[in-house]
Amino acid sequence: MDVTLHLAQDPEADALLGRSPLAALVGMLLDQQVPMEWAFKGPRTIADRLGADDLDAHDIAAQDPEAFSALLSQKPAVHRYPGSMAKRIQQLCQYLVEHYDGDAELVWKGVDDGRELLRRLEELPGFGRQKAQIFLALLGKQLGVRPKGWQEAAGSYGEPKSFRSVADITGPESLAKVRAHKQEMKAAAKAAKAARK
């Protein structure tokens, strides 16, 4: 895995995401309740604070939970909820150590069926169906991981040029389109909720 991603909109953070399967997974895990760029910059920030060039699942899994939480809480915090996210990242890394010998890429490497890959992603701590489908779409659209049926397994996120999620962001222009789509979805949800009252 060595591609250029544009999710953090920061060259160093994006370079790490493009070469590190674990960084990409951690970025996806952090991508909730904060701006996308903030979430995907998190893996680089964590690596820097650990004094490392990359994230290591064995190292993170073995960290003292309070110390790791404090690391994520340093200003600027890695997430709006650094304590709970520190716990989730450690749970993800512990799972990867137990099931994939700490190698995040083994979650998808050699998998030849999209539904199987989706199942594997959904089993990761902190990955519900939607997050798993978005990450599957990111793998297929930008990282060249395309097992048979991956687009169908990714649902609407797998559609070409759909601009629904991080899977479709390749630069500032596509970022703006994804943001616009998310705002439309929020407005539609708000209108539907108001209509039910």
Q: What pLDDT digit, counting tens, does each position of 103-135 carry? A: 999 999 999 999 999 999 999 999 999 999 999
pLDDT at 1 over 70: no
pLDDT at 2: 64
Q: What is the mean pLDDT of residues 133-158?
A: 94
For the entire predicted model, the pTM comes to 0.91
CB-CB neighbours of 22 under 10 Å: 24
Answer for the pair 1, 21: CB distance below 8 angstroms, yes or no: yes
Identify whether 193 is part of a domain: no
Identify whether 166 is part of a domain: no
CA 94/CA 92 separation, integer angstroms: 6
CB-CB neighbours of 100 under 10 Å: 17
pLDDT at 149: 95
Identify whether 190 is part of a domain: no
Biggest alpha carbon–alpha carbon distance for the chain? 53
- Grouping H, G, I as helix, E, B as strand and the rest as coil, residue 93 is helix
Identify whether 120 is part of a domain: yes
pLDDT at 174: 84
Identify whether 177 is part of a domain: no
Which residues have a Cβ under 8 Å from the Cβ of 79 and sit 6 or more positions away? 30, 33, 34, 38, 39, 42, 72, 85
Identify whether 71 is part of a domain: yes
The residue with tokens 């200003």 is 75
pLDDT at 194: 85
Task: Report the percentage of the chain scoring pLDDT > 70.
Answer: 99
> Residue 142: which domain range?
11-159
pLDDT at 192: 83
Residue 96, token pair as written in the block: 């990867």
Exposed e or buried b for every residue in 65-96, given b needs 16+ CB within 10 A? eeebbebbbeeebbbebbbebbbbbbebbbbb
Q: What is the pLDDT of residues 46-57, one digit of tens each?
A: 999 999 999 999
Identify whether 133 is part of a domain: yes
Q: What is the mean pLDDT of the chain?
A: 92
CATH number of 86's domain: 1.10.340.30
CA 148/CA 111 separation, integer angstroms: 9
Q: What is the 3-state secondary structure (H, E, C) of 100-154?
A: HCCCHHHHCCCCCEHHHHHHHHHHCCCCCHHHHHHHHHHHHHHCCCCCECHHHHC
Amino acid at 82: P
Choice between 175 and 73, residue whose per-residue pLDDT is larger: 73
Q: What is the pLDDT of residues 59-83, one digit of tens each?
A: 999 999 999 999 999 999 999 999 9
pLDDT at 150: 96
Sign of CA dihedral 28, 14, 151, 114: negative
Count up the domains in the chain and report the number: 1
Identify whether 187 is part of a domain: no
pLDDT at 3: 76
